[in-house]
Amino acid sequence: MAQLKIVFTGTVGAGKTQAVEALSEIPVLKTDVQATDEVVDLKDSTTIAMDYGEMAISDGETLAVYGTPGQKRFAYMWDILSRNALGIVILVNNSRKDPIEDLCVYVNNFKQHIENTTAVFGVTHLDKAKNPAEEMNKYYTFFEQQGYHYPVFPVDARKRNDVNVLVESLLAMLEVG
């Protein structure tokens, strides 16, 4: 039987590895190495190939949860990991200089996969903002302007409940679809 899988993608430091760790019921297979170049200012390690975890969903089925690398130099993994995924979760690090531009990079790169399946969006690092609700408004407005009918949620990738909302929402959309 084909593996049921979803894929977390998005910018460097958005919390993809953290999200897979928050969700997974098995020890996460990680390919993080010590960060170099511009990533070093953000955090100690970065994903070079993938994160892999698993979680139980309804009917005793297992959902495979993959995280992609964020860095564009490892972008060849994006397509490989997304093949046959049920849907894509895009995480956006709101504390970066231009998170909407970041978001566009991933929407464009995963366009085909998103069109063939579906997507949900999670905005992370909102706790660093003075007014998180106001920050969220810029995403809602942007989605409306673009005609994107995808859910977008404020999330903290360190919190399982937050990340689970993304997964539940993606699975619910697939059932409806």
Ligand X SMILES: Nc1nc2c(ncn2[C@@H]2O[C@H](COP(=O)(O)OP(=O)(O)OP(=O)(O)O)[C@@H](O)[C@H]2O)c(=O)[nH]1
Which residues in this chain contact Mg ion in the complex, by CB under 5 A? 16-17, 47
Residue with CB nearest ligand X?
70
Residue ranges in 74-113 that form contacts with ligand X under rule CB under 6 A = none
- Smallest separation (angstroms) from Mg ion to the CB of 81: 12
Residue type, 20: V
Q: Would you count residue 13 as binding ligand X (CB under 6 A)?
A: yes
**Got the DSSP string for 78-141?**
HHHHHTT-SEEEEEEETTSS-HHHHHHHHHHHTHHHHHHS-EEEEEE-GGGSS-HHHHHHHHHH
- Smallest separation (angstroms) from Mg ion to the CB of 11: 10
Contact indicator for 167, 6 with CB cutoff of 8 Å: yes
User: What tokens appear for 63 in the block?
Assistant: 């959902």
Q: Would you count residue 124 as binding ligand X (CB under 6 A)?
A: yes
Contact residues for ligand X, defined by CB under 6 A: 12-18, 39, 43, 46-47, 67, 69-71, 124-125, 127-128, 156-158
